[in-house]
Amino acid sequence: MSETVCIRVEHVSKRFGKKIVIEDITMDVKKGEIFGMLGPSGAGKTTLVKMIAGIAEATSGTIHVLNTKMPNLQVMKRIGFMAQSDALYGELTALENLQFFAAIYGLKGKKQKQRIEEVMELVNLSEHMKKTVNNYSGGMKRRLSLAACLLHEPEVLILDEPTVGIDPVLRQSIWEELERIRQKGTTIVVTTHVMDEAEKCQRLAMIRDGRLIAVGSPEELKKRTNSQTIEEAFLYFGGARK
């Protein structure tokens, strides 16, 4: 695997019973990029990112993350995964939630306190540290979930629809945070079905019906299809050719 490749997906398929959900996907994610997976609901994005994160296993094909075949427990410790629904304890404060997750990652004492402060600052929630999570808005909960998966300074960040249900202003701030995290050297994989978010990624995989229909930078994909927008390019690759 070359120095610049962080994630390599080779001929990966996933079946649930007789249903084929991912079909023969091959692609690379480069180190230090924000790699978007764009596709409509049910396209298979969640299934694919779970396999990359090592939470689910492929039916066939192989996935390597940081030069190691997945699933692998050691590599999973170097990955931050944020699922679609928030896994937070509503009765606890944000601080208590983060202390809980930090303990799972083996962060203790001074280091734990320092990381909690850093990640809360990154997601702009420092002032709400002692608030009970049940009193957080939906957007604040998403940002707290993001903070939680950043605690152990993962080299790879995998986010499944991080901005679902979030208003445009907060969405913008989350994308600014992601860009900051990327600039520190983290590789980020993010699923979305929002076209303007796709534009913010360095490269993009378009997924439909479990198949990879195109991969490239937003600019390349638009150029290749002579499209003005990513949406138009998606429709082109998806078969609705002009």
Query: Least distance to ligand ATP from the beta carbon of 133, Å?
Result: 23
By CB neighbour count within 10 A (0-12 exposed, 13-18 middle, 19+ buried), where does 239 fall? exposed
Which one among 8, 35, 36, 46 touches ligand ATP, defined by CB under 6 A? 46
Residues 6 or more apart whose CB falls under 8 angstroms from that of 91 comprise: 132, 133, 134
Query: Least distance to ligand ATP from the beta carbon of 44, Å?
Result: 4
Which one among 12, 33, 38, 39 touches ligand ATP, defined by CB under 6 A? 39
| 95 is a contact residue toward ligand ATP (CB under 6 A) | no
Which one among 21, 27, 55, 129 touches ligand ATP, defined by CB under 6 A? 21
Pairing between β-strand 156-160 and β-strand 79-82 as defined by DSSP bridges: parallel
- At 131 the three-state DSSP class reads coil
Query: Least distance to ligand ATP from the beta carbon of 36, Å?
Result: 13
- Interface segment toward ligand ATP; rule CB under 6 A; list 2-10, 37-45, 106-114, 120-128: 37-45
Residues 6 or more apart whose CB falls under 8 angstroms from that of 201 comprise: 33, 34, 35, 36, 190, 218
39 vs 154, which CB is nearer to ligand ATP?
Answer: 39
Phi, psi values for residue 25, rounded to 5°: -95, 130
Task: Provide the binding-site residues for ligand ATP, judged by CB under 6 A.
Answer: 16, 19, 21, 39, 41-47, 193
